[in-house]
Amino acid sequence: MSASPLFSVIIPTYNRANLLKKAMQSVLSQIFQDWELIIVDDGSTDNTAGLVQSFTDNRIRYFFQEHQERSTARNMGITHASGKYVCFMDDDDYFLEDHLFAFYRAISEDGFPLKIYRNGYFIEKGRRRKPGPVYDENTHRNPVSFSAFNFCGAWTLCIPKFCLEEDTFPKEFPHWQDTHLILRLFAKYPFQQNEEKTYVYVHHPLMGSRSIYQRDDVEERIQSNVAAIKDFFNKYGNLVEKTLPQNTESYLVAKKYLDHADGALSHRKYSLAWKLFAVSLKQSRLRFLKWLYVKFLAKSPLLVLRNLLIY
């Protein structure tokens, strides 16, 4: 094993000690063992510190910060990373045992280049798993377009530490921060999709994408989500203009409002759902999302009738 590890695995965490244990154990169980694990505690008030201290492996490093959200926590992890390549994991997910080995095999076969690698992943709901989207050069326009229109996730990637010296997660935004960074990285560096599916993205009732609708500041969070998209295109639109279709920003904004309308509907936040649906319609040319709009309305005929009567 080298003096500095090949991989730095970074896990930001906040009040999820009960889930973090499985995530950490999945790193310890890796076939490929040349790694360090960096836990960045984003101001937890539960037993997170005690849990991490219960692991005695000296490759595990723990850092604490006052609560500042995931982007800042990940950026702190990057600052302390000593590995040549950086991998991320969310505290409620886990690696399969060959996750790092799949990256190592691809990297070593290429001669340890300045290239970003991506493994496939599974979406786990209860006892069921289904594969997430993977990049296919015969199907997708390019990696930038793929990451703009598909659920990509920083946790699917293996990124040379060098690439993260200039580009980091946008600390201003608690949502869409992965895509904000990934679009910049894919526009600048070579990319390779590996065949192996080695990451497990876990759906559960307390995950952030679900719990947002129970928050008092849900509308502010949604607006922040949209603001991150607009911020990217305002600052980096020129970087990606040759790799993305025209009107991508308008599409992504309208789609984000519609996604949140669907989420609000599933959580019985009917007024919010209709409000977000109406905003999405105003943002988009109908042809962009017409079938998704029809699908949304088909889910909620009573909601449609109720709001037609109001308006």
Is the domain of 176 the same as that of 246? no
Domain assignment of residue 2, yes or no: no
User: Residue 54 CB: number of other CB atoms within 10 A?
Assistant: 10
Coil, strand or helix at 181: helix
- Structural domain including 177 reads 7-204
Q: Please check whether residue 32 lies inside any domain of the structure.
A: yes
Give the rounded percent of residues in the chain with a pLDDT score beyond 70. 91
Full DSSP string of 3-62: SS-SEEEEEEESS-HHHHHHHHHHHHT-SS--EEEEEEE-S--SSHHHHHHH---TTEEE
Cβ-proximal residues to 20 (8 Å cutoff; 6+ apart), any chain: 11, 13, 39, 48, 51, 52, 91
- Higher confidence at residue 164 or residue 1? 164
Q: Is 178 helix (H, G, I), strand (E, B) or coil?
A: helix
User: What does the pLDDT read at residue 34?
Assistant: 97
- At position 78, the amino acid (one-letter code) is I
State the average pLDDT over residues 166-188.
94
**Is there a single domain that holds both residue 47 and residue 186?**
yes
Residue 274 maps to a domain: yes
Number of domains in the chain: 2
Cα–Cα distance for residue pair 216/219, rounded to 1 Å: 8
Q: Is residue 89 part of a domain?
A: yes
pLDDT tens by residue, 49-77: 999 999 999 999 999 999 988 899 999 99
pLDDT in tens, 208-254: 555 677 777 888 889 999 999 999 999 999 999 999 998 899 999 99
Q: What global pTM score does this model have?
A: 0.89
Residue 309 CA to residue 281 CA, distance in Å, equals 19
| CATH for 13 | 3.90.550.10
Of residues 206 and 229, which shows the higher confidence score?
229
Domain termination residue (choose one: 174, 204, 234)? 204
* pLDDT tens digits for range 90-146: 999 999 999 999 999 999 999 999 999 999 999 999 889 999 999 999 999 999 999
Q: Over 60: is that where the pLDDT of 286 sits?
A: no
